[in-house]
Amino acid sequence: MTIKVGDRLPEAKFRVMSEEGPQVKTTDDVFKGKKVAVFAVPGAYTGTCHKMHLPSIFLNAYAIKDKGVDAIAIVSVNDAYVMNAWKRDTDLRDEATFLADGNADFTKAIGMELDASGNGLGIRSHRYSMLVEDGVVKKLNLEPNPGKVEVSGGDTLLEQL
């Protein structure tokens, strides 16, 4: 079942890179007591994600946070090493947490998995953005075409705040 506005996020674990290596962050660690702008992408460094989606987030990051958002999270079905390299290459002002959902556990739990096997990418995440307050989905913008950023970008979520 696909998550919808009003639903509480399920319990899941992400991996994030630290100086000691990959560390676990739970959904509670990320969302409990916070207002979080979440942006999910099919894959790190892939064309649309790297050249369109992330720039739309970082161009609007200050304005998003000025509207009362505590944190920005980027989710992708990639490992923590890839997500750490992608953060290093794109998040020049350290504005977001890059959450690795390597086995797609979170993505599957919220019904956002995308079978990209036809393109050699395996199971990935649909492209979407959502506003989460204390673990509850308040806004959800599912991109109808994973190769475009028309409703899931930073500009759209900013307008909804």
| Active site (catalytic) residues | 49
- Six-digit token pair at 143? 């991109």
End-to-end CA distance of the chain: 26
Count of Cβ atoms closer than 10 Å to residue 155 Cβ: 15
Identify the H or E element spanning 97: strand 97-100
CB 22 within 8 A of CB 80: yes
Q: Which of 80, 77, 84, 82 is nearest to 112 (CA)?
A: 77
Q: Which of 133, 161, 138, 127 is nearest to 5 (CA)?
A: 138
Q: Which of 150, 109, 156 is nearest to 130 (CA)?
A: 156
